[in-house]
A and B are shown apart, each in its own frame.
Chain A
Amino acid sequence: MSGKILTANRVNDGDVVFFTSDHQWSLRISDALFAEDEAVLELLEDQLRLAETGTEVTDAYVFDAEKFDGVLRPRHIRERIRTLGPTVRADLGKQSNGTGGAFSAVS
């Protein structure tokens, strides 16, 4: 199943966050609101516009994602690396503290 996820960076520390179904920003992609239809996508786009003028997050955008065996993951390698951390340093980023995701960046 493919759809969209809204992401941003948190202003105070720069961490990558995802917009959730309870309208919060979470560090975990597994919490993300997964837009599979037009109505939810419109909601994400409204939130994107709100995010741009707010103070909590910055650089918000929507990316392509898919649900595979019940696990949400980005479709493109760029977003997968962004969600997990550098592929060359498993000790850094979300992959290092269990907030990344149950998928690989490169496969």
Chain B
Amino acid sequence: MYRYDEFDHRFVRERVGQFRDQVERRLGGELSEAEFKPLRLMNGVYLQLHAYMLRVAIPYGTLSSAQMRRLAEIADTYDKGYAHFTTRQNVQYNWPKLKDMPDLLDDLADVEMHAIQTSGNCIRNVTTDQWAGVAADEVADPRPVCELLRQWSSLHPEFSFLPRKFKIAVTGAPRDRAAVAVHDIGLRMHVNADGARGWEVLAGGGQGRTPMIAITVREFLPEAELLGYLEAVMRVYNLHGRRDNKYKARIKILVHELGADAFRAQVEAEYAKLGSPTVDVEQRELERISAYFAPPVYDELDETCVPFELAKNENREFAWWVKSNVSAHKVSGYAIVNISLKPTGGIPGDATSQQMFVVADLAEQYSHAEIRVTHRQNLVLPDVRLSDLYTLWIELNSAELATANVGLIGDIVACPGLDYCALATARSIPIAQDVSERFEDLKRQHDIGSLTINISGCINACGHHHVGHIGILGLDKKGEEFYQITLGGSSDENASIGTILGPGFAGDQVADAIETIVETYLGLRADDEPFIETYRRVGAKPFKEALYETA
């Protein structure tokens, strides 16, 4: 993992000190809310429905056991004993007091964490594949580049007052687990015919009220030119992105209004003006950073582990868990363990401090003290020996962290919605709970197979409903919550935006509607065809008929 150098340490501590002074002046009456609000937002402090909310950055979703432990301690000391993992691989506290915030941020700084740039019109936390560095299908570990981007974008003077917030996602694997096509900038690693590595640079993707799939700006950018090229993209956006209308200020609108060809031409013209004076520095820095992400020393293990195979044969629940929650590792004899934060009827992404302590301990014991946070609100232990899986499963089970549903219908993504969020128009969590309870039967979930349900409580789409195979959007109609259903969204390498199926449903009708959709799929699927492929083959019509014409 990356470790802070003296500059990182100094700037984070200095920022905490500045914010401590600002909070004191706010509480003492020297600063008005109008003066203070931009300062607190720059430090990740929002005001939500019930209280302040603090969003802490988890750079590219990677945590050490020590950091996870500290996050749990913060939940106990300053909050109400739990935390919420978000769709941007971050973590949020829902009840911290403003007067405690400087101490809280100092505690975070102790473990090299902060909340800077988790709000505001700047470059936000860079996100990536939760299996970075260990995925069997990976071209290269994207985290060194993510860290380079973190350093480049942190307090970057030119990009601290963009037209709107800006999100970058990176994947080093052909299977896209980072949703790069629905980010302001997406980076996808390729290897060309000469064996050289380079980046496909995408721009203009996004969700919110105007969902769009990104265009490819450059098919293959030599690896060493990345920062210069991104600077050109950012400059075009910073200069020409709209500032007159908040809802049209994201880069996707600029790309759409200019058209893909004109946008590409502007970026290339800007890039040509820059030259590439920083490339050598960038390469040296990237090499320095990469050393921190050197793979751990793995044992030489056989590809198969007999006790593990026996345990699978003897224990059906363990076998299910392995099938859905354990993924292929690039090193023989090891596995990636995905920890579901979606127990049946639970709150997606929430973990108690106790569970966080357990995960920190288990990571230390079984996975080189490293943990990942996924953009589907789950956790990952990236480096587990096959021979440890059964014991690990038992320990996860006793902490209620072994629900065997990752990638299945129970693994629902949901924003906090109207239960917590000041912007929400409807609740998300109770819908997720209803649906997960409806499909409680794990055998049924495994029979249904790969299926994502994403729920947002308002048009801002924090629950990524546009790219759920089934998307649910909560709205307000004359003071009543109602829910629109979309089908056919996807955030992988074949990304697509879901299509609205028809009129919305009341909250207590949603689980029935989802069940009708699932039953319709089961009646239409060919062999093991996943939901999304069946949908793409047959289109929306049979689902519409099943939902609306039977009444």
Partner-B contacts on A (CB < 8 A): 9, 11-16, 52-53, 55, 58-59, 75-78, 81-82, 85-89, 92-93
Contacts and interface: CB of A to CB of B under 8 A. Distances in A.
B159 interface: no
Nearest to B49: A82
B419 A86 contact: yes
Interface in B401-428: 418-420, 424, 427
Contacts of A89: 347, 419
27 contacts: A11-B26, A11-B98, A12-B97, A12-B98, A13-B52, A13-B99, A14-B47, A14-B97, A14-B98, A15-B50, A15-B51, A16-B51, A52-B32, A53-B32, A58-B47, A59-B33, A77-B479, A78-B424, A81-B49, A86-B50, A86-B420, A87-B430, A88-B347, A88-B419, A88-B427, A92-B95, A93-B50
Contacts of B419: 81, 86-89
A13 B430 CA distance: 27
Contacts of A12: 27, 97-99
Interface of B: 26-29, 32-34, 47, 49-52, 80, 95-99, 347, 418-420, 424, 427, 429-430, 433, 479-481
A64 B264 CA distance: 50
Nearest to B346: A88
Given A14-B47, A14-B50, A77-B481, 16 more contacts: A9-B51, A11-B26, A12-B27, A14-B96, A14-B97, A15-B51, A55-B28, A59-B47, A75-B479, A86-B50, A86-B419, A86-B420, A88-B419, A88-B427, A89-B419, A92-B95
A52 B33 contact: yes
B31 to A, nearest CB: 9
Contacts of A15: 50-51
B430 A88 contact: yes
B27 A78 contact: no
A71 to B, nearest CB: 19
B52 A76 contact: no
A14 B80 CA distance: 14
Contacts of B424: 78
B479 A76 contact: yes
A55 B29 contact: yes
Contacts of A86: 50, 419-420, 429
Contacts of B98: 11-14
A12 B47 CA distance: 12
A16 B420 CA distance: 13
Main secondary structure of the interface of A (DSSP, over half): loop
Contacts of B50: 14-16, 82, 85-86, 93
A14 B479 contact: no
A81 B418 contact: yes
A53 to B, nearest CB: 6
A86 to B, nearest CB: 4
Nearest to A57: B33
Given A11-B27, A59-B33, A88 B433 contact: yes
A93 B98 CA distance: 17
A92 B350 CA distance: 14
Contacts of A76: 479
Contact of B33 (A14, A58, A78): A58
A9 B27 contact: no
A33 to B, nearest CB: 21
B71 to A, nearest CB: 19
Contacts of A85: 50
Contacts of A9: 47, 51
Contacts of A82: 49-50
A14 B26 contact: no
A69 to B, nearest CB: 20
B513 to A, nearest CB: 19
Contacts of B34: 52
A75 B33 CA distance: 28
Q: Closest 6 CB pairs between A and B?
A: A14-B51, A86-B419, A55-B29, A14-B52, A13-B97, A58-B33
A58 B427 CA distance: 24
A77 B478 CA distance: 11
Nearest to A79: B49
Contacts of A81: 49, 418-419, 427
B481 A55 contact: no
B418 A77 contact: yes
Given A11-B27, A13-B99, A55-B29, A88 B47 contact: no
A76 B424 CA distance: 13
Nearest to B45: A14
B173 to A, nearest CB: 35
Contacts of A78: 49, 418, 424
B433 A13 contact: no
A33 B32 CA distance: 25
